[in-house]
């Protein structure tokens, strides 16, 4: 109620207000492709937002593969320092049946990339 | 709520819920004139104003979920436009240069506006005597036709302050141009 009264008071204009309105007033600005330009920028932005995460992941993954494999190699070299009794137990584990570490890393990377691509297509 | 406002709200809902770019395009078509007009009058630089208007609509796309629907959509949009304008002004000196040119031209011809060249319009001369805040409030009121409450929302000022700024702005225009009996131009 109060806001309606305020709004009505707002609309009470004197001669001076009307003159200012005509002075400030202008013809409506024609669209001239403005809205199309804005919408195409919005669509581009949506695509950039959708692609930025998978691209960042792929680039980051590609950069990280080499240091990660080096880390795995370095960790495997630490075996030399493991006491003999523990080592004999580890030797019993059938590591040779496992695929190479680099293959596991690449497979994990591909699985995640496919999941992200699937989510992207779904959207 | 008018039909136009309820249509706006429907379009906003489609944008928020479905990320509907076509609905957003319709909102841009409906309001581009007022937003560009506001920014053109505020910056006095058409190409800068149109760039800012594009930024305003992109920002509106990102933040449209924050529009509560309590005021009009155009009021909210003009608030975004004003914020974008203030941010750009802080970053760039282009706006200051344009106003300086207008101010200098206004001063060089004296307080009386009778002999001013046609290059600078009446509106520019009037706006040059106002502070930035007064300019924004006067444009929102007289060019965009917003109510005092809507201006208060758009400019983040209390309604009482908006009223006193408009009063002060009108007074300044009267004093600066020695206009009697409220005769402008």
Give the single-character DSSP code of A81: G
Same domain, B76 and B143: no
Domain end call among B92, B107, B142: B92
Does B3 share its domain with B87?
A: yes
Contact criterion met (CB < 8 Å) for A26 and B37? yes
pLDDT digit string (tens) for B155-179? 888 999 999 999 898 888 877 765 5
| pLDDT band with cut points at 50, 70 and 90 for residue B119 | very low
Closest approach of B130 to chain A, Cα-based (Å): 14
User: Do residues B158 and B94 make contact, with C-beta atoms less than 8 angstroms apart?
Assistant: no
Considering the domain architecture, whether residues B68 and B130 belong to the same structural domain is answered as no
Average pLDDT value for residue range A65-78: 82
Regarding whether B84 and B21 lie in a shared domain, the answer is yes
Q: Give me the percent of chain B exceeding a pLDDT of 90.
A: 37
Would you state the pLDDT for residue B97?
63
Q: Of B67, B92, B117, which marks where a domain is finished? A: B92
| Alpha-helix runs per DSSP H in chain B | 3-18, 21-43, 46-63, 73-91, 94-108, 122-128, 132-138, 148-155, 159-176
| Domain residue limits at B15 | 1-92
Q: Are residues B77 and B114 located together in one domain of the fold?
A: no
Domains: count for chain B: 2
Q: What is the pLDDT of residue B30?
A: 94
Question: What's the distance, CA A40 to chain centroid?
Answer: 20
Q: Residue B173: left (phi > 0), alpha (psi -120 to 50), or beta?
A: alpha
Q: Is A29 helix (H, G, I), strand (E, B) or coil?
A: coil
Q: Are residues B78 and B148 in the same domain?
A: no
CB B117 within 8 A of CB B131: no
Distances (CA, A) of B69 to B4, B66, B146, B147: 13, 9, 16, 16
Q: Identify whether residues B81 and B148 lie together within a single domain.
A: no
B24 neighbourhood in chain A, CB within 8 Å: 39, 42
Q: The domain that contains B175 carries what CATH number? A: 1.10.10.10
Statement to judge: residues B13 and B80 lie in one domain: yes
Contact of B58 with B27, CB cutoff 8 Å: no
Burial of residue A20 (CB within 10 Å: 0-12, 13-18, 19+) is buried
Instruction: Calculate mean pLDDT across residues B107-131.
Output: 60
Residue A16 has pLDDT above 50, yes or no: yes
Q: Is A8 within 8 Å of chain B by CB? A: no
Count the Cβ atoms, other than its own, within 10 Å of residue B32: 24
One-character DSSP codes across A36-71: HHHHHHHHHHHHHHHHHHHHHHHHHHHHHHHHHHHH
Return the residue in B14, B23, B33, B39 with the most chain A beta carbons within 10 A, the one to mutate for interface testing: B33
- Cα B56–Cα A35–Cα B119 angle in degrees, nearest 5: 75
Cβ–Cβ contacts within 10 Å for residue A94, how many?
A: 7
Measured between alpha carbons, how far is B8 from B23 in angstroms, rounded to an integer? 9
Q: pTM to 2 decimals?
A: 0.66
Within this chain, do residues B102 and B72 fall inside the same structural domain, yes or no? no
> Are residues B77 and B61 both part of a single domain?
yes
CATH number at residue B8: 1.10.1740.10
Mutation for testing the B interface, residue in A2, A4, A26, A39 having most B CBs under 10 Å: A39
- Whether the per-residue pLDDT at A21 is higher than 50: the answer is yes
- Domain boundary assignment for chain A: 52-123
* Boundary (domain end) residue, out of B71, B92, B113: B92
DSSP secondary structure code for residue B119 in this structure = T
- Top-confidence residue, A100 or B32: B32
pLDDT of residue B49: 92
ipTM of the shown complex: 0.72
Please, are residues B19 and B59 in contact by the beta-carbon 8 Å criterion?
no
Is residue B115 scored above 50 in pLDDT?
Answer: no
- Closest Cα in chain A, distance from residue B30 (Å): 9
* Mean of per-residue pLDDT scores for chain B: 81
How many A-B residue pairs are in contact by the CB < 8 A criterion?
88
| Confidence at residue A82, expressed as pLDDT on a 0 to 100 scale | 74
């Amino acid at each position: 109620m109060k806001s309606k009264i305020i709004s009505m008071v707002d609309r009470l204009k004197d001669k001076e207000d009307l003159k200012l309105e005509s002075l400030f007033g202008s013809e409506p600005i024609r669209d001239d492709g403005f809205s199309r330009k804005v919408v195409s920028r919005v669509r581009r932005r949506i695509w950039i937002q959708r692609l930025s995460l998978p691209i960042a992941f792929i680039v980051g993954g590609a950069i990280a593969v080499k240091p990660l494999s080096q880390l795995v190699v370095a960790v495997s070299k630490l075996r030399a320092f493991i006491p003999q009794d523990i080592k004999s137990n580890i030797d019993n584990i059938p590591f040779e049946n496992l695929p190479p570490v680099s293959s596991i890393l690449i497979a994990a990377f591909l699985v995640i990339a496919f999941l992200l691509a699937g989510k992207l297509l779904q959207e | 709520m008018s039909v136009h406002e309820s249509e706006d709200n429907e379009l906003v809902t489609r944008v928020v819920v479905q990320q509907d770019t076509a609905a957003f395009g319709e909102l841009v078509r409906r309001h581009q004139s007022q937003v560009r007009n506001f920014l053109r009058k505020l910056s006095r630089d058409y190409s800068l104003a149109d760039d800012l208007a594009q930024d305003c609509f992109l920002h509106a796309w990102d933040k449209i979920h924050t529009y509560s629907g309590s005021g009009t959509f155009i009021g909210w949009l003009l608030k975004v436009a004003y914020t974008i304008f203030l941010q750009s002004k802080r970053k760039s000196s282009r706006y200051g240069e344009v106003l300086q040119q207008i101010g200098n031209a206004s001063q060089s011809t004296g307080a009386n506006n009778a002999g001013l060249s046609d290059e600078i319009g009446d509106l520019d001369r009037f706006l040059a005597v106002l502070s930035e805040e007064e300019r924004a409030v006067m444009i929102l009121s007289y060019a965009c036709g917003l109510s005092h409450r809507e201006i208060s929302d758009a400019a983040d000022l209390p309604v009482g302050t908006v009223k006193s700024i408009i009063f002060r702005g009108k007074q300044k225009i009267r004093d600066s141009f020695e206009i009697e009996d409220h005769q402008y131009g």
